[in-house]
Amino acid sequence: MSITNEDTEKPARKPRTRDAEATKARILEAAKKEFSKNGLGGARVDVIAEKANANKRMIYHYFESKERLFQTVLEDAYIDIRTAEQKLKLDDLEPKAALAKLVQFTWEYYLKNPEFITLVNSENLHRAKHLKKSEVIKVASRKFVNMVGDILERGASKGVFRPGIDPVQLNITIAAIGYYYLTNRFTGSIIFERDLMAKEAIDERLQFNVDTIMRLVCA
């Protein structure tokens, strides 16, 4: 009998090839889920460690504290959506088509990434104290607002959009009509006595939202 365990017995033993990047990534993914499910205050570090199939000690080794881990998760989430928006290449489209595409993208991004919404909610509960520290996000956001501003200007000079629309107000509105529907889907389904997450309901809402934005901007 050798000292090292035989293959068949003790299935819990894992030789675990060492990979810092992979472990970090697993922790971040698990943290995103746990934070979005329970908020910063409600999330449990032990649960994150378990979900990530990592030791809790590793979390503190790589991320220093629960709050710093949250900050990293949040930054990653913002960078992800801003990157995806840039990839839309809205500048290549006609103004109306560009805006419609943006509304649709925003809606579908929220649908596919429900953690994003909950993370942002949690961050606002804490008065954006973590986001304040992040410079990368400010730069990425500036680009995004300018992009929508350009679309509005192009549309206005072509005569298809009303002139003088504030890109910030428009951006907020585009986000709002999707975000609110989804973040409040649980209370909403009760208040309105309708399953807001049924396939048809979701499709209907997207159509309604595109329509809302078009009526808002068109001349």
Name the residues that contact DNA, by CB under 7 A. Answer: 14-20, 22-23, 43-46, 54-58, 60-61, 65-67
Taking CB under 8 A as the rule, does residue 65 contact a second copy? no
The token pair that represents 154 in the structure block: 């192009």
Assess 181 for contact with a second copy (CB under 8 A): yes
- In angstroms, give the least distance from the CB of 136 to DNA: 23
**Residue 6 burial (CB < 10 Å; 0-12/13-18/19+)?**
exposed
User: Which letter, b or e, does each residue of 179-204 get, where b requires 16 or more Cβ atoms within 10 Å of its Cβ?
Assistant: bebbbebeebeeeeeeebeeeeebee
From 138, 163, 195, 203, residue interacting with a second copy (rule: CB under 8 A): 138
| C-alpha distances out from residue 123 to 41, 53, 110, 138, Å | 11, 26, 16, 15
Which of DNA, a second copy, none lies near 65, with the C-beta cut-off 5 to 8 A by kind?
Answer: DNA
Site string (198-217) toward a second copy, x via CB under 8 A? ------xx--x--xx--xx-
Assess 38 for contact with a second copy (CB under 8 A).
yes
218 DSSP 8-state letter: B
Give the CB-side neighbour count of residue 82, counting CA atoms within 13 A: 17
Interface ranges with a second copy (CB under 8 A):
38-42, 118, 120-121, 123-125, 127-128, 131-132, 137-138, 141-142, 145, 166, 168-169, 171-173, 175-177, 179-181, 183-194, 204-205, 208, 211-212, 215-216
